[in-house]
A and B are shown apart, each in its own frame.
Chain A
Amino acid sequence: MAVLGAYFLGTFGIFLRIVLMKTNFPKWLQSRNEVVTPVTSWERVEEGFSLQKQFISPYSGDMFHETPLALRCLKLAYYFPFDGVKTFFIVIDILTMIFLYRIASAFGDQMLKEQAAEKSEYSPKAESLLVTAKQLSMLPSTLIAVHVFNPFSIMTTLAMTTSSVSNLMTLLTFYYLIKGNKLMCTLFLALSTYQTLYPLVLIVPVALHFYRNSISSTSAQSFVSGEAVSSYIITSSMFLILFGFLIGVSYVLEGSWDFLFSTYGFILTVPDLTPNTGIFWYFFTEMFDHFRTFFVCVFQMNAFIYTIPLAVKFTKRPLFLMYVLMFLTSIFKSYPSYGDAALYISLLPLWKHTFCYLRNTLMIVGMFMCCIVLSPILYHLWIFAGSANANFYFAITLTYSTAQILLFTDLLFAYIRWEYGLYNGKDIRNPDGSKTLIILE
């Protein structure tokens, strides 16, 4: 039944996208800064193609920021039947749905397995917090449903941004991580790092997960032993070899290292101040020149540094760590877009069992809705009508970032609280019978 539902939803989603592709909506979306960034814009990919056709290196200018392999592979989009490029992005969307489905079922199995192994340590009063096979059977269709109706996913597909391709890479990394296929996992991680750089941090959960899988008993595991370190080194070196291979191939194809500055240099030094949903653009527009380098460093470190405390906290939960890092980088990356939000929102139902501990759901949903509606309006008022200035649009992007941060911290809390519940029982009461408050100490 659940499978049928997923198929039905998926078909509906594809139909919805095809219908919307026929309207003027995609053309409008392609000019929306929230959906399209300089790194992911299809228009700029086409610019790269036309420069290449004239034997001008696309990396000699500042319009094209895709990687050399992407430049060559994305050309395949033109060979797709019907509308070519449009079909290509719908196919990418279909693949995304397929892998969301597979992730959900694999994740369910993994959850049950872990739960069975750890059940002896759980509090007997935590029975209601445990996930059941019945709940998990609904997970794939929930994921598909969220993806189908998620406005961020729809916009990303319609605007034909390459972030849907890099999202698929990240999903594949996640899928093979759950499946425990080390080679494929590191390969897709290398690919997705190669594409957008930020997935680099995901090597931490990947290494943790493969070590955790390799040892049999859950109780005896130590994540700092010599055995563990050697496992991390093996995983990381596999990733590094594959990543180095990709860079090497790019160098051979391009014949120069220019592409490094146009892709990773562009991501790291943030020279393009086109408005987007992130915190970088207006901050560095208004920044004083002599502090610029310092703050670029601070803001980029901000995107990476949380890996350490989160890895320490969630050493035993690499899948959640993986998700959390995905979420964080999409908030703090230099050119974020709705495409990044689409990824973590589609995967959000994986943690449905912790949702009972979310605290600010209404406010966060409200903030997201406001941002989706208001950002095009305020942008129009600034750029076309001239009746508002940049601050209005900045305010809405700031709200969007805040909403994401609130959702993130809320989910983090809910997960920690749920885990606490597992070991201490769901219903903890004071001696006088009142409900005990659980607080952070």
Chain B
Amino acid sequence: MAVPASPELPTMLFVFIFIITCSTSVAQKDEFTEELLIKPLSRGYVYSHFQFTTKWNASIHDLRTFSHYNLFPKSLGEVLVRYGVQELHLSQTQGLWRHKLWGYPVHDAPPGAELWVWFKPSVKDIDGAWTDLVNAVSGLFCSSLNFLDSKSTIVPRWSFRPLGLASKSTSPFSRSVRYGALPKEIVCTENLTPWKKLLPCDSKAGLSTLFNAFHFHEANYHSLGLHVRPICADEACTQEAIELSQSLSVVTDVVSTSYTGSPNWQIRSLFGNHLVSACPIAAKSTIMVDITNNVDQSSFRLTPSPTITDTIKRGPHEHTYAVYDVRQFTQSNRVLNIEATFNQPPVLVELSPPPIHTHRFITGYGLEDGGISCLIHNTLSSNQSILYLDLLPWFTRVKFNTLEVVNNGKAVPYKVHYVPAKDRSRPHHLELSLTLWANSVTRVHFTFTRAYLKWTEYPPDANHGFYISSAVITALVPSTLEYTGPPQASSRLDSMFANQPLGASKPRFLVRIHTESLLVSLPTPDFSMPYNVICLTCTVVAIAFGSIHNLTTRRLVPYDPASKKGLLSKVKAFLQKIFKKSPTTAGQGDQPAQVNEGIQELTEDKSALGTDEKHSSQES
């Protein structure tokens, strides 16, 4: 946009830009790119990351933007504008990403579902908007995100800052952000289908033709991501754009799934199909293979050979990628099937672990008290400050006074933001800001007691236990060892090759890792006998009520045997009545005579009591 930047006419300039923006917003082409990053991991695993990026050159704050759609999915756009969403980050994951072995993925995601949203500052009732939004998103992706109610939602204070453009005025306040996680959510084909429908080419052409649910669900880890954020439309950042980034990550165990046990892999073996086309709408369609550890082809050989091999320096580390232009390889009905052939069986060596990795677990025994420990490893040779966020359900009652952060037996100073849980309405929210010493392990530990739930609050398989969502650790690290994420300006993987921003002599890279999710068992009542319990307890209350009623409403009197008719004497009187009638039949059989005798005895006893019955017996 060639605008004469005249300092004398700032207003004019603004209006001019505005008019141009409005007039060109429809005409300006949206940009869609599709990329696939394949990174061989240690021990025969292969990480494949599909990245689909739609850049919509329009402002998310302008309501008129959402009246006309081009490549951006309308179903999603309507949800965004309806609930005043500024940024939306959703991940649905099956399996656990092992940071220590696999390094960092492009987008880190916890097991289950995770959603965090920044609402526009203009949204007043954020809790209401969040409730409606999770229901809408849950419908859009066929997932159970509607369970993200107040019991599993928090307002992160430090950990989840906006990733895209945000106005300066909102940045110090975290009022407009909501974070929720469902560790129990199971990700399946039904989530993949609506997710891939948002792609401009669906799965008809391009990299998305490789989506094969069978292969994904067989993998050790697979994760669906969807991220919407406002970004800069150009480098100078004179205009806003909306970026929709859809990603699908799969980690396949090549060695154990191949019949021969060989570590060789090809696109066909990973996804069950080879690539026949690029998405015609895509501005760019590339496959990148990370060959950082294989620059000299000593370990494996790639066929066909890539379009180019590119090396970039990010921070202190260099990364080398073999880049394939899909469009070029699939011209004139050719197919692309990248194949890696290993020269010799790879030696299983321990890769150097990434700068920060964690291990989180439950301590204690029995169903009464317990503890949660998180070991945070720092392999850097410098101190590293991190943010730790933990979201715990209300029924694990955290004892805040047991919180300790220990490194090498010494307490580490920390800054804490803690929101205690409210029964059945709010989870525990713990955020820590602390420094990890160089080359050390820091332990965050606290204990909790288990709450006792009502019998209706347990899920169908009550003894399976309850999941606790992953803790989130956020850091800006100086190292890019095992780092794959793109720079912040764009989610496109090829933006890694862009020039480093000026003045970033010591660049830092955002690392966000999720720990293991946990499973806790809670003590269970007996589900089979609510009626019995209600009856028994009410009986005990009735004993008290009856006795007190008796003792307070009656008075003591001496017992006069003459005036009192007990139950026994009533029965006797009744029997006598029958007996009085019976003599007519008595003589006819032996049995009535015996009865006769028995009653005679009874009446004799009665005579001793000197009651009315005495007279009646005499009469008889």
Partner of A412, one of B453, B525, B537, B551: B551
Partner of B537, one of A274, A282, A383, A420: A282
Nearest A residue to B536, CB-CB: A398
Nearest A residue to B549, CB-CB: A309
CA distance A394 to B540 in the complex (A): 12
Q: Known interface pairs A275-B452, A286-B534. Does A390 touch B540 (Cβ–Cβ under 8 Å)?
A: no
CB-contacts of B508-541 with A (<8 A): 523-526, 529-530, 533-534, 536-537, 540-541
Note all chain B residues with C-beta closer than 8 A to A246: none
A384-414 CB mask vs B (1 if < 8 Å, else 0) is 1000011100100010011001101100110
Contact assessment for A405 and B547 in the assembled complex, using a CB-CB cutoff below 8 Å: yes
Cβ of B69 under 8 Å from chain A: no
Cβ of B401 under 8 Å from chain A: yes
Contact assessment for B423 and A271 in the assembled complex, using a CB-CB cutoff below 8 Å: yes
B289-332 CB mask vs A (1 if < 8 Å, else 0) is 00000000000000000000000000000000000000000000
Contact assessment for A62 and B421 in the assembled complex, using a CB-CB cutoff below 8 Å: yes
Give how many A residues have a beta carbon under 8 Å from the other chain's beta carbons: 64
Contact assessment for B544 and A287 in the assembled complex, using a CB-CB cutoff below 8 Å: no
Cβ of A15 under 8 Å from chain B: no
Note all chain A residues with C-beta closer than 8 A to B526: 286, 389-391
Contact assessment for A282 and B454 in the assembled complex, using a CB-CB cutoff below 8 Å: no
Partner of A384, one of B365, B397, B550, B557: B365
Give how many B residues have a beta carbon under 8 Å from the other chain's beta carbons: 52
Cβ of A254 under 8 Å from chain B: no
CA distance A417 to B399 in the complex (A): 52
B7-22 CB mask vs A (1 if < 8 Å, else 0) is 0000000000000000
Cβ of B218 under 8 Å from chain A: no
Q: Known interface pairs A331-B544, A405-B543. Does A440 touch B525 (Cβ–Cβ under 8 Å)?
A: no
Contact assessment for A439 and B556 in the assembled complex, using a CB-CB cutoff below 8 Å: yes
Cβ of A382 under 8 Å from chain B: yes
Contact assessment for B399 and A43 in the assembled complex, using a CB-CB cutoff below 8 Å: yes
Q: Known interface pairs A43-B399, A54-B418. Does A274 touch B540 (Cβ–Cβ under 8 Å)?
A: no
Partner of A286, one of B367, B416, B420, B533: B533
CB-contacts of A49-69 with B (<8 A): 49-51, 54, 56, 60-63
Contact assessment for A438 and B559 in the assembled complex, using a CB-CB cutoff below 8 Å: yes
Cβ of A264 under 8 Å from chain B: no
Partner of B548, one of A51, A273, A306, A384: A306
Contact assessment for B544 and A47 in the assembled complex, using a CB-CB cutoff below 8 Å: no
Give chain A's interface secondary structure class: helix
Nearest A residue to B558, CB-CB: A436
Cβ of A31 under 8 Å from chain B: yes
Cβ of B368 under 8 Å from chain A: yes
Contact assessment for A310 and B367 in the assembled complex, using a CB-CB cutoff below 8 Å: no
Note all chain B residues with C-beta closer than 8 A to A60: 419-420, 422
Contact assessment for B401 and A46 in the assembled complex, using a CB-CB cutoff below 8 Å: yes
Q: Known interface pairs A306-B548, A437-B558, A438-B557. Does A56 touch B418 (Cβ–Cβ under 8 Å)?
A: yes
B contacts, CB < 8 Å to A: 365-369, 394, 397, 399-401, 416, 418-424, 451-456, 523-526, 529-530, 533-534, 536-537, 540-541, 543-545, 547-559
**Cross-chain pairs A/B with CB under 8 angstroms, 17 sampled:** A31-B369, A50-B401, A51-B401, A60-B422, A62-B394, A63-B420, A285-B455, A286-B530, A299-B541, A302-B544, A309-B552, A401-B540, A405-B543, A412-B548, A417-B556, A440-B554, A440-B556
A-B CB proximity, top 8 nearest: A61-B420, A50-B401, A437-B559, A409-B547, A309-B552, A286-B530, A384-B366, A440-B554
A contacts, CB < 8 Å to B: 31, 43, 46-47, 49-51, 54, 56, 60-63, 271-275, 279, 281-289, 299, 302, 306, 309-310, 312-313, 331-332, 382-384, 389-391, 394, 398, 401-402, 405-406, 408-409, 412-413, 416-417, 420, 424, 428, 436-441
